[in-house]
């Protein structure tokens, strides 16, 4: 059998069939983490009944998974760079499959939560390393297309989760939503094992050391920040302030540590490059904006427009479906037109979409909402494909894992921040502390204000992109832009 392992350098002689199978394995590896998030959301009411537990406890089935990903993703990316991305990815797939089985066999809620944290560890490996393999398996001229395809697979996982989860629970019970990951994970393992490039073994004396202290400090800071943004369900109190203070302290200690160690987790010099820092900042802003659609839309569709739960689910599935359909074409556009230009085009389309979400639903109801989402989500896919390509292009092989981890981390931080901040904006604009009891007019006002704020954030992202484009047109400065 001829495989990508025959040519780990990807110098152009890797057989096209092997590239396709390798990309198929990467697509499955990208699908699993997003499916693991969205398929579990639909099960929360069922889990609350099965385990006779309040929502505050059951929500940890979701939070444990997301926190594990957020805390571990950068360190795992760096571990892949040092120990070998293929072997770490294969180990991550094993962890994900075993943890999925433990979730499906869970006899208690706390067992399930612990297993979900382990599943989050496996998901962090997949999210950190999948994109890092693109440069080793796909010809350079097709990088945008491959990254766009991976983005489409992530969107498919998000879109497929609620419907697949609902069917699985109705026919087979709640355990099936976790067990379904097992055959998918085993197939991904088979493809990755046979078709991904074999890791190059280097003498231990030549390998950089793993920054354990820096990894622990960053993980602690990220954990404190994530908890500050999720505990309290939008109500900011003393505990949230304490956690934010701990997060800030952890980041300060992390910076001091990274400046002194011989082999830092994240070389701080990388952030002096405006283009690299701008790409990460824009990714966080855009993820914050997109999270607003998930936080606000269910309340607006149900309370302001009076849709029942089934219809709300159908309308909200339109966004992920559009994203799934436009991900691969967005990647092809990046290959043709260049990443910096497509980043700006995608952000402009997102700006139009956020303004439309602020205006059109009030004028045309469900049709206005769908029209606005149909503009916003393709813009998001254009941005994602272009921004991810811009970040990953030109990164040295020994840093692709940690850079891919940073890219995924910036997205996760945006999602976590968006859930808290945009939810708070929504509640403030609706002039209520409990949005579930707000009247239709208050919810409609909250929708308009929230997406007006989202439009302003998009304008900030556009300004960053334009500045980055202007700097890119100048002669390149001395120094390495890699992380």
pLDDT of 46-71, one tens digit each? 888 899 888 678 878 888 898 899 88
In the prediction, which pLDDT does 483 show?
Answer: 46
- Helix 440-472 / helix 339-364 crossing angle, nearest 10 deg: 160
Q: Which two tokens stand for residue 453?
A: 């704020």
Q: Would you say residue 16 has pLDDT above 70?
A: no
Q: What is the mean pLDDT of the chain?
A: 85
Q: How far apart are CA 260 and CA 217, in angstroms?
A: 14
Superfamily per CATH, domain 266-473:
MFS general substrate transporter like domains (1.20.1250.20)
- DSSP H helix total and E strand total for the chain: 19, 0
Torsion of CA 272, 214, 401, 65, to 10 degrees: -120
Long-range Cβ contact pairs of 202-209 (< 8 A, separation 24 or more):
207/82, 208/82, 208/262, 208/263, 208/398, 209/262, 209/263
In the prediction, which pLDDT does 482 show?
Answer: 45
Q: Would you say residue 13 has pLDDT above 50?
A: no
In the prediction, which pLDDT does 404 show?
Answer: 87
In the prediction, which pLDDT does 154 show?
Answer: 84
Q: How far apart are CA 1 and CA 113, in angstroms?
A: 41
Q: What is the mean pLDDT of residues 389-409?
A: 84
User: Is residue 426 very low, low, confident or very high in pLDDT (cuts 50, 70, 90)?
Assistant: confident
Phi, psi dihedrals of residue 364, rounded to the nearest 5°:
-125, 10
Q: What is the mean pLDDT of residues 362-381?
A: 94
User: Which pLDDT tens digit goes with each residue over 287-328?
Assistant: 999 888 877 887 888 888 888 867 877 787 788 888 888 888
Which of 72 and 308 is assigned the larger pLDDT? 72
In the prediction, which pLDDT does 336 show?
Answer: 92
Q: How far apart are CA 389 and CA 159, in angstroms?
A: 23
* H-state helical runs in 84-142: 85-104, 109-129, 134-137
Q: For domain 16-196+212-222, give the fold.
A: Growth Hormone; Chain: A; (1.20.1250)
The residue written with tokens 């199978």 in the block is 21
Which of 281 and 400 is assigned the larger pLDDT? 281
Question: How crowded is residue 455: how many other Cβ atoms within 10 Å of its Cβ?
Answer: 20
446's CB contacts (< 8 A; 6+ apart) are: 296, 299, 300, 425, 426, 427, 429, 430, 435, 438
Lowest-confidence segment of 92-96, 202-206, 250-254, 473-477 by average pLDDT: 202-206
CB 123 within 8 A of CB 439: no
Instruction: State CA 357 to chain mean position distance.
Output: 23
In the prediction, which pLDDT does 481 show?
Answer: 46
Q: Which of 284, 224, 288 is nearest to 254 (CA)?
A: 224
User: Which pLDDT tens digit goes with each residue over 161-215?
Assistant: 777 887 888 888 899 999 999 999 999 999 999 999 887 766 555 556 788 888 8
233's CB contacts (< 8 A; 6+ apart) are: none
In the prediction, which pLDDT does 2 show?
Answer: 37
pTM: 0.81
Q: What is the mean pLDDT of residues 9-15?
A: 44
Stretch(es) of the chain classified as CATH 1.20.1250.20:
16-196+212-222, 266-473
Which of 276 and 16 is assigned the larger pLDDT? 276
In the prediction, which pLDDT does 4 show?
Answer: 43
The DSSP secondary structure of 301-339, one letter per residue, reads: IIIIS---HHHHHHHHTHHHHHHHHHHHHHHHHHHHH-H
Q: Would you say residue 9 has pLDDT above 70?
A: no
Torsion of CA 237, 238, 244, 247, to 10 degrees: -140
């Amino acid at each position: 059998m001829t495989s990508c392992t025959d040519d780990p350098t990807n110098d152009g002689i890797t057989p096209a069939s092997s590239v396709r199978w390798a990309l198929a394995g990467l697509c499955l590896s990208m699908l699993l983490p997003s499916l693991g998030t969205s398929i579990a959301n639909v099960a929360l009411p069922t889990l609350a009944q099965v385990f006779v537990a309040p929502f505050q406890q059951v929500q940890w089935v979701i939070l444990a998974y997301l926190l594990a990903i957020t805390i571990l993703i950068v360190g795992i990316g760096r571990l892949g760079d040092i120990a070998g991305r293929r072997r770490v990815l294969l180990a991550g797939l094993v962890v994900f499959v075993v943890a999925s089985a433990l979730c499906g066999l869970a006899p208690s809620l706390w067992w399930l939560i612990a297993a979900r944290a382990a599943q989050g560890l496996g998901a962090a490996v997949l999210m950190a390393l999948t994109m890092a393999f693109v440069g080793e398996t796909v010809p350079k001229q097709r990088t945008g297309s491959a990254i766009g395809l991976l983005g489409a697979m992530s969107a498919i996982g998000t879109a497929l989760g609620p419907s697949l989860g609902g069917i699985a629970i109705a026919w087979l019970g709640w355990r099936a939503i976790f067990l379904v990951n097992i055959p998918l994970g085993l197939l991904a393992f088979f493809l990755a094992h046979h078709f991904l490039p074999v890791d190059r073994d280097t003498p231990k004396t030549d390998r950089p050391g793993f920054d354990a202290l820096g990894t622990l400090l960053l993980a602690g800071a990220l954990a404190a920040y994530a908890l500050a943004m999720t505990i309290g369900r939008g109500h900011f109190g003393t505990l949230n302030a304490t956690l934010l203070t701990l997060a800030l302290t952890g980041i300060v200690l992390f910076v001091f540590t990274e400046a002194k160690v011989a082999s830092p987790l994240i070389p701080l010099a990388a952030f002096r490059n405006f283009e690299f820092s701008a790409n990460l900042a824009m990714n966080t802003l855009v993820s914050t904006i997109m999270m607003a659609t998930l936080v606000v839309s269910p309340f607006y569709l149900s309370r302001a427009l009076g849709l029942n739960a089934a219809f709300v689910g159908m309308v909200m599935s339109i966004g992920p479906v559009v994203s799934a359909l436009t991900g691969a074409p967005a990647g092809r556009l990046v290959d043709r037109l260049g990443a910096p230009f497509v980043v700006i085009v995608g952000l402009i389309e997102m700006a139009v979409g956020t303004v439309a979400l602020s205006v059109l639903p009030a004028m045309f109801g469900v049709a206005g909402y769908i029209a606005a989402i149909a503009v916003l989500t393709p813009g998001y896919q254009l941005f994602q494909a272009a921004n991810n390509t811009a970040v990953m292009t030109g990164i040295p092989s020994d840093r692709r894992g940690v850079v891919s981890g940073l890219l995924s981390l910036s997205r996760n931080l945006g999602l976590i921040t968006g859930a808290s901040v945009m939810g708070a904006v929504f509640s403030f604009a609706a002039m209520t502390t409990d949005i579930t009891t707000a009247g239709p007019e208050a919810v409609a006002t909250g929708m308009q204000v929230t997406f007006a704020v989202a439009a302003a954030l998009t304008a900030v992202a556009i300004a960053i992109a334009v500045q980055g484009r202007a700097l890119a047109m100048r002669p390149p400065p001395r120094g390495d832009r890699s992380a």
